[in-house]
Structure 1
Amino acid sequence: MRNDVANRRRSFRALKILGILHITVVRTLMSSDLKNLTEKTAKLSIDPIYETNWCDMPAEIKLECIGKMKFNERLSLRCTAKAERSLVDSQKVEIDEGRFGEDNEQSTFVLLIDNKRYFVKDSKYMNDAFELLNYIKKVGDFKTLYFSLGFAVLFAVYERFHTDDGLFTAKEIEFSNGIFNTVVAVLRKIKNGVESIKLRYGGLDSDQLAGILAIPHVQNVSYWHIHDYEGTDSLHKVAQMWIDKNAKLGSTFQVSNYDDGSFAEFLEHLDDRILSKNEQRVRIRTNNADCHILLERGLNEISEIVDFPQYFRLKVISAEMKESEYDNDCKEWICIMDPEVSSDSDNSSEQSDDVHEYDD
């Protein structure tokens, strides 16, 4: 009985794949750029036989077909044979956003292109989830990667993830409600070229920060932030890391926390480098005569000194920058890491503009 069921499933899968291939070949034959491929195949055979058999088609035609397949169609095709898997895996897919998390104890994969759901898949089995993740990692060229708590086990514990050689390709990476080991495991699996790292991560402490600062991507990234950091040492530690690594001009770090003392601790640890200071800013020298580091505290109608959370920004600036060139409106950079601040500020403004009339 089990063999009959298995045979039916294999037959159904084979028919499904054949249907996909037929539709895709038709799409390709109708495409305007087939002429060049036809000329190539004409040189290979006077009487080409690829018109009826997929397996006899030249690789150029197959790759053209694969390029027109949807993501789930590619997944089906790569299950047919090693040769087809190799072809499918060679085709990169540009993806706006990849969201990896957990829903009802299942690993959830969501890929978006043009802000629309392009592929959605749930998997309750670790091996299946890893195989899918490995393929996505291999072919995906991401603008943004988003990881939430649900992938903690797969990334931090699952041995195959650590031993696999594949790397993600992404411009921006964001973590939400994850655990420290997950953050480290993922950052070690990213190719060079990351431009932004966002940690919306309550509970990150001093020891964990030291581990993150040791990761090359963090040392070289243009922008990164930590939301709700637990501690007061992040500012001077990031500044010292930049000094030691000769960070590039424009490098930016932002942090919010609920513990008072970050500003004072920065002054204490880097006192011998201070060039200027007031209640809102501190400017220090680096070992590079062309660069300074500017610390800014988020102070205006959004955030007063006594307000919590407190917001800070560190930035590597040109040594030639004048104080008149400083950005005096911190609202924009605060809202990058905490968009809710903008809505809270707008609501507060609306309330203050209300006019109430009372009868005497």
Structure 2
Amino acid sequence: MASDLRSLIEKTENLSIDPVYDTNWCDMPAEIKLECIGKMELNERLLLRCTAKAERSLVDSQKVEFHFGRFRGYYEGFSFLLYSDNENFCKHLYDKSETIGLINYIKNVGVFENLEISFGNLFADNEQFATDDGLFTAKNIEFEECDISTMISVLKKMKEGVESIKMNVGIEVFEKFAEILSISHIQNAKYWHIKDYQETDSLYKIAQRKSDLLSKSKDERRVRILTNNADIHILLEHGLDDSVAIYHVDEYFRLLVIPAEMKKSEYEDDCQEWICKIDPEIYVYDSESYFEESEADRYINELAFQEYLESRGYYDAEGI
């Protein structure tokens, strides 16, 4: 072992390689620059891409993986919140063109596990946002308080591979349901969650997109539907849960693609888990721990949250 180490030291001493730290950045080969850029935080990359077109090209070629990203518009401002293994990135902007520039950069280099879009109608009539041809890369995407035109535009800008799509919809979605349903990501996603959607007849339209339908069996909770593929069936489930039925007026449905050979005994009888995915708070407010919390504790927690929002610039002090 010692002889191997001495041999390695001798070989290293005989190498005629100039130290990297004696070389100017502009003289470094592109492959070395890319190694350096790969270790930079997002803020550093943004600064570097402003120095020259050559550096911008290098920075833009390096992908960044994010566990979570949120793009949010509020009043006339915009906020970006990004989480990755190495850093948390938070930025607030008030210029729409600057915001779109940053969105386009993050969109082109970011690979998201979870992405949340909440822009309201701030980009509804923005040609620069609507015509950009860059693509988002995300496994799971959620739209919260988002104009329908922006939602459709973002969905059409997604790369293949979207597994989960969540929508908090408004009345305008009812009018453009057919257009949304025609988007390939909607058709191919493993999980499509529509919150507060009142047109339950459209569940038939969704299933019809998948196949030619024939009812095979049905009961109080489920309708099993034949398809034009002999290997699969579609299962429409109605989430009937005692606590939901007693305390809430909302109803919960889901569509599943199942193997044709699945037996009734293999159905999932406990619907609480998938109802919680649709409405995470539904069982929180029915739990004993929630009601055991004192009014004083709730007031303190709400006040602390308001102070946090004020510190982040979401509210004016007089408006709280």
Task: Kindly indicate whether the alpha-carbon contact (under 8 Å) linking 1:143 and 1:171 is maintained by their aligned counterparts in 2.
Answer: yes
Q: Which residue number in structure 1 is paired with residue 59 of structure 2? A: 88
Counterpart amino acid of residue 81 in structure 1: A
Q: Which amino acid in 2 is paired with 1:315?
A: L
C-alpha separation in 1, matches of 2:71 and 2:250: 28
Whole-angstrom distance in 1 between the partners of 2:291 and 2:44: 51
What's the % identity of the aligned pairs? 56
The 2-side partners of 1:349 and 1:56 are apart by 62
> 2:306 maps to what in 1?
none
Give the number of aligned pairs.
279
Instruction: Give the equivalent residue in structure 1 for 2:295.
Output: none
1:310 maps to 251
- Give the aligned partner of residue 123 of structure 1: 93
Q: What one-letter code is carried by the residue in structure 2 that aligns with 1:125?
A: D
Q: How does 1:77-226 map to 2 (within 5 A)?
A: 77-114=48-85, 118-150=88-120, 152-154=121-123, 156-226=124-194
Residue 171 of structure 2: SS of its match in structure 1?
A: coil
Q: Distance in 2 between the 1:281 and 1:329 partners?
A: 13
Q: What is the SS of the residue equivalent to 1:224?
A: strand
Distance apart, 1:344 and its partner CA: 2.8
For the residues of structure 2 that align with 1:76 and 1:196, how far apart are their CA atoms?
A: 33
Provide the rounded CA distance (Å) in 2 between the counterparts of 1:176 and 1:201: 8
**Structure 2 CA distance for aligned equivalents of residues 188 and 174 of structure 1:** 14
State the distance in 1 between where 2:247 and 2:84 align.
Answer: 43
Match of 2:220 in 1: 279
The aligned residue for residue 343 of structure 1 is 284
2-side partners of 1:166 and 1:241: how far apart?
Answer: 28
Cα distance in 2 for partners of 1:218, 1:346 equals 34
- The answer for the alignment partner of 2:32 in structure 1 is 61
**How far off its partner does 1:132 sit?**
0.7
Give the whole-Å Cα distance in 1 for the aligned partners of 2:75 and 2:234. Answer: 46
Separation in 2 of the partners of 1:133 and 1:59? Answer: 26
Q: Name the structure 1 match of 2:47.
A: 76
Aligned in 2, Cα 1:347/1:211: closer, same or farther, shift over 3 Å? farther
Aligned position for 2:262: 321
Displacement of 1:220 in angstroms is 0.5
Letter paired with 2:42: F
Q: Distance in 2 between matches of 1:333 and 1:47?
A: 60
Deviation digits for residues 28-71 of structure 1 (CA, Å, limit 9, x no counterpart): xxxxxxxxxxx9xx8xx966887241100111211111111111
Q: Which runs of 5+ in 2 are unaligned?
A: 1-11, 293-320
SS in 2 for 1:101: strand
Distance 1:51 1:212, change over 3 A: same
Is the Cα contact below 8 Å between 1:50 and 1:56 reproduced in 2?
Answer: no
Does the aligned pair in 1 maintain the 2:216–2:226 contact within 8 Å? yes
| Structure 1: gaps (5+ residues) | 1-38, 245-269, 352-360
Give the secondary structure class of the aligned counterpart of 2:228.
coil
Please tell me the residue identity of whatever aligns with 2:30. A
Cα distance change, pair 201–136 in 1 and its aligned pair in 2 (3 A):
same
**Partner of 1:299: helix, strand, or coil?**
coil
**SS of match in other structure, 1:168:** coil
Query: With structure 1 as the length reference, what TM-score do the two structures score?
Result: 0.72
TM-score scaled to structure 2, two decimals? 0.80
Q: In structure 1, how many angstroms separate the alpha carbons of the residues matched to 2:228 and 2:183?
A: 21
Following TM superposition, by how much is the alpha carbon of 1:323 offset from its aligned partner in structure 2, in angstroms? 0.6
Structure 2 CA distance for aligned equivalents of residues 307 and 127 of structure 1: 44
CA apart distance, 1:225: 0.8
- Contact kept, 8 Å, 1:50 with 1:57, in 2: the verdict is no
Q: CA deviation at 1:305?
A: 9.3
Which residue of the partner structure matches residue 300 of structure 2? none
